[in-house]
């Protein structure tokens, strides 16, 4: 069969797979599409009237968009770093964990790039970032670094995942020489996208709350909390609704590793809080704004303490073997840590960094409805991408959808028809 015909079958088959589903599936898709439409409408208004429709102003020139961007970089990074323990501990079908991790990473990076895009005042000039037509201020600007590493990371994950899936579809062995080096490369790249994003803030002397070397380690620690939390939920869903056999031990092991990550995250925060309060310099003002409020300005207080409470709850649930092995408490822990990190890395990072501003002014920022609509739309794009990719990836990985088999709805595969050979161990 020619490559073109094979690809056509892959394409047509994927469309057919995606276009087939039960009621909850279509309800979910419709829900996401509705959010996307609402986000697009809000964004159109923002383009028309300017960023004045957001709640951002000169004192707080970054807000909800950049907060979400920062959080999602962590999700993108952590999903892939799970590849290492998955490989070391030989969890269940390792290839699938790699695939789902990388699919999650691809979706998260897409959301990251969209959040940066909607934040800029001149989207019509986005191309100014791309040489040779534009000018990228590399290596001086950390934002230039971020654009670079995020795009490389997106590309790597995309190539790996499409290669794995497409070869499984074509019932061929995947390209080991291409895939394994890229999988291994994606691990340091995952760490570097998060480090670079942290340095974006660390490098600013004007903002003492960010200008601290603990930021990058803190970013990584919190990413290892939120990324695996999503993946744990996804793995459980897959185990439940498909014929995947993912070992309990794998899930417990991830939860145990998360307990260490949550602890490390809390510890790093504690170290920073000690330094701030004990030295009691002018810089303390930002930390106080987050946890105590300054001069009656206390918008962030409930969020800050909710995040602390969620992180502590998650730590307790993950560190006690009984609760991390109990399906209910495990998932409560996942939700808690996801929400906790979302607050801490979004509003909890951006807003105290900018409030009070460089001249001491306090502008209390709360995202406008437009910002929330646009952000919800971007999350919907990410979830839609992840859903559709999973919809194609799962039957391929299960061997139900391949070049010789048009997938049928009611077909249940026998356990031994997983088609692609197991990955060769490197080294």
Partner 1 sequence: MSDERPDRREFLSRVAGTTVGAAVTGVLSACAARRLRDLPLEETRERIQALERDYRRRFGPEVSLSGAVALPGVIFGYALDLSRCIGCRRCVYACVEENNLSRDPQIHWIRVLEMEKRLGIDFAHSDSYYDSREVPRAGHFYVPMACQQCDKPPCTKVCPVKATWREPDGIVVVDYDWCIGCRYCMAACPYGSRSFNWAEPMVPPNEINPTMHVLGNRPRPKGVVEKCTFCVQRTRAGRYPACVEACPVGARKFGNLLDPDGEVRYVIENKRVLILKDDLNTMPKFFYFYGA
Whether the CA torsion 390, 393, 398, 401 is positive or negative: it is positive
DSSP symbol at 409: T
The reply on whether position 182 binds partner 1 by CB under 8 A is no
For partner 1, the binding residue among 3, 22, 133, 296 (CB under 8 A) is: 133
Nearest to 135 by CA among 146, 127, 147, 143: 127
Tell which positions 369-398 bind partner 1, by CB under 8 A: none
The reply on whether position 134 binds partner 1 by CB under 8 A is yes
- What is the distance between the alpha carbons of residues 360 and 390, in angstroms, rounded to a whole number? 48
The reply on whether position 49 binds partner 1 by CB under 8 A is yes
How many residues touch partner 1 under the rule CB under 8 A: the total is: 49
Closest contact distance (angstroms) between CB of 68 and partner 1 is 15
The reply on whether position 281 binds partner 1 by CB under 8 A is no
Residue 100, both tokens: 């789902």
Stretch that binds partner 1, among 4-12, 16-24, 51-59, 315-323 (CB under 8 A): 51-59
Tell which positions 201-230 bind partner 1, by CB under 8 A: 203-207
- What is the distance between the alpha carbons of residues 367 and 71, in angstroms, rounded to a whole number? 16
Whether the CA torsion 98, 99, 103, 104 is positive or negative: it is negative
Stretch that binds partner 1, among 22-30, 118-126, 327-335, 402-410 (CB under 8 A): 118-126
The reply on whether position 136 binds partner 1 by CB under 8 A is yes
For partner 1, the binding residue among 359, 412, 415, 422 (CB under 8 A) is: 359
The reply on whether position 184 binds partner 1 by CB under 8 A is no
- How long is the chain? 427
Nearest to 73 by CA among 179, 165, 199: 199
Return the SS3 of 408: coil
The reply on whether position 152 binds partner 1 by CB under 8 A is no
Is residue 39 within 8 A of residue 371, CB to CB? The reply is: no
The reply on whether position 23 binds partner 1 by CB under 8 A is no
Rank residues 121 and 421 by Cβ distance to partner 1 and give the closer one: 121
- What is the distance between the alpha carbons of residues 369 and 389, in angstroms, rounded to a whole number? 30
The reply on whether position 141 binds partner 1 by CB under 8 A is yes
- What is the distance between the alpha carbons of residues 399 and 45, in angstroms, rounded to a whole number? 46
Contacts with partner 1, residue ranges (CB under 8 A): 49-52, 54, 56-59, 61-62, 116, 119-122, 125-129, 132-137, 140-144, 147, 200, 203-207, 282, 285, 353-354, 356-361
């Amino acid at each position: 069969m020619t490559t073109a015909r094979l690809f056509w079958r892959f394409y047509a088959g994927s469309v057919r797979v995606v276009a087939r589903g039960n009621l909850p599936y279509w309800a979910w898709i419709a829900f996401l599409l509705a959010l996307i439409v609402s986000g697009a409408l809000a964004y159109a208004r923002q383009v028309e009237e300017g960023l004045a429709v957001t709640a951002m102003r000169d004192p707080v020139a970054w807000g909800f968009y950049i907060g979400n961007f920062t959080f999602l970089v962590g999700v993108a990074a952590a999903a892939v770093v799970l590849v290492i323990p998955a490989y070391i501990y030989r969890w269940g079908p390792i290839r699938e964990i790699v695939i789902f991790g990388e699919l999650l990473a691809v979706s998260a990076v897409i959301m990251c790039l969209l959040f940066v895009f909607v934040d800029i005042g001149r989207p019509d000039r986005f191309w100014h970032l791309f040489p040779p037509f534009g000018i990228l201020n590399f290596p001086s600007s950390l934002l230039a670094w971020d654009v670079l590493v995020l795009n490389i990371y997106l590309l790597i994950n995309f190539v790996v995942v499409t290669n794995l899936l497409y070869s499984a579809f074509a019932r061929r062995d995947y390209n080991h020489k291409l895939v394994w080096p890229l999988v291994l490369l994606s691990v340091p790249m995952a760490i570097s996208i998060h480090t670079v994003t942290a340095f974006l803030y660390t490098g600013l002397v004007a903002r003492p709350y960010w200008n601290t070397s603990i930021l990058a380690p803190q970013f990584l620690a919190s990413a290892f909390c939120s990324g695996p939390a999503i993946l744990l939920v996804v793995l459980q869903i897959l185990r439940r609704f498909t014929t995947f056999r993912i070992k309990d031990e794998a899930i417990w092991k991830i939860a145990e590793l998360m307990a260490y990550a949550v602890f490390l995250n809390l510890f790093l925060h504690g170290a920073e809080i000690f330094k701030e309060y004990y030295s009691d310099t002018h810089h303390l003002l930002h930390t106080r704004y987050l946890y105590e409020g300054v001069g009656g300005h206390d918008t962030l207080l409930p969020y800050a303490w909710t995040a602390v409470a969620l992180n502590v709850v998650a730590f307790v649930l993950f560190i006690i073997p009984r609760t991390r092995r109990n399906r209910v408490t495990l998932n409560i822990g996942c939700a808690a840590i996801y929400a906790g990190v979302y607050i801490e890395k979004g509003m909890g990072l951006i807003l105290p960094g900018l409030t009070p501003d460089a001249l001491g002014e306090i502008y209390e920022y709360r995202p406008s409805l437009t910002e929330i609509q646009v952000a919800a739309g971007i999350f919907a794009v990410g979830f839609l991408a992840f859903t559709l990719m999973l919809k194609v990836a799962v039957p391929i990985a299960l061997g139900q959808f391949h070049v010789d088999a048009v997938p049928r709805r009611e077909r249940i595969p026998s356990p031994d028809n997983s088609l692609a050979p197991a990955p060769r161990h490197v080294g």
